[in-house]
Amino acid sequence: MKKTSTRLADGRELIYYDLRDDSVRDAVDKRPLERTVTTSEVRRDPLLGDSVAIASHRQGRTYHPPADECPLCPSQGDRLSEIPDSSYDAVVFENRFPSLAGDSGRCEVVCFTSDHNASFADLTEEQARLVLEAWTDRTSELSHLPSVEQVFCFENRGAEIGVTLGHPHGQIYAYPFTTPRTALMLRSAAAHKEATGGENLFDAVLERELADERVVLESEHWVAFVPYAAHWPYEVHLYPKKRVPDLLGLDEDARTEFPKVYLELLRRFDRIFGENEPSTPYIAAWHQAPFGALEEFEGVNRDDFALHLELFTIRRTSGKLKFLAGSESGMNVFINDVPPEFAAERLREVASS
């Protein structure tokens, strides 16, 4: 992998990740852009104890442009985009309309491929490995920023999810706090460790799932399963079998095997609802340990956390979505219409030949 860092016309950082070491990335952003001005602010809710990003400038972000005006495609002739070069393998750049900025963190866009009509599932194993290396590199770099406490790599896919740009891409949020989901996991891990005399909660969960009927696929270094208490109609958790706190901790064997396992999982998702709906909307979310101090979670440290990816769709059956209505949105109590055991069975049925 070759990494080349440059700057866009408004001063934002852009980084090319290339498969070839001899790639030259010297194209200049010729757009007449003024420096990005953001109004991002993080406010803490005194009742719930969580944080909300207020980012009014995002109202003006690019919204469903036609394919020939996609800002994530390479620049071609007079059509200038966020990527100055005429081609790329994978690229990361600072979001022009960030939810978090400055002392409130940082937001980046990750373009998986220059092919506008592709998806992550269409990547080769070599391309998927390159994206993994980009995620890992950005996690490392962002973790050293003084304002950053947790790094979150994720992909939103599909208009049903709320995606406004059709090009295959994901995002990275670098939060100035530990997110509520992660805080809940750490508190549960601390309570379990105390109650069991030192047992790791993530190890216990993985051991139970490996012995149950909800395993979707398993390889030497990875396992994917539908969790016992799945929140979403079709939800899969992907764990490395060797517990590590973040992407940086993955060894070479796990990195080498990841592309094949993850691509197979995504392709199965695209077959859940049959040929009439081949592009399943989903969210893919990497859960990593915070990089800040964990004093509030007494009894656990970073190494007690387990890196894992959660992949889920809001589609519950063909042509129908799972809406977060009163119980889910008002009380955060999920009601799942699809039994996890059925979901796991269905994902095993659609395995590629």
- Known catalytic residues are 169
Give whole-number Cα distances, 186 to 62, 179, 181, 301, in Å: 37, 11, 9, 9
The answer to whether the beta carbons of residues 82 and 96 sit under 8 Å apart is yes
Counting Cα atoms < 13 Å in the Cβ hemisphere of 26 gives 2
Pick from 144, 91, 133: which is nearest to 113 by CA? 91
The answer to whether the beta carbons of residues 104 and 139 sit under 8 Å apart is no
Distance, in Å, from the CA atom of 54 to the CA atom of 222, rounded to the nearest integer, reads: 38
DSSP state of 159: G
Distance, in Å, from the CA atom of 181 to the CA atom of 334, rounded to the nearest integer, reads: 14
Burial of 188 (0-12, 13-18, 19+ CB in 10 A): middle
Pick from 131, 134, 144: which is nearest to 15 by CA? 134
Torsion angle, CA of 292/295/298/300, rounded to 10 degrees?
Answer: 30
Distance, in Å, from the CA atom of 83 to the CA atom of 169, rounded to the nearest integer, reads: 13
**DSSP letters for 13-82:** EEEEEESSTT--------S-PPPP----EEEE-TTT--EEEE-GGGGGS--S--GGG-TTSBPBTTB--S
Pick from 181, 221, 211: which is nearest to 310 by CA? 181
Counting Cα atoms < 13 Å in the Cβ hemisphere of 339 gives 4
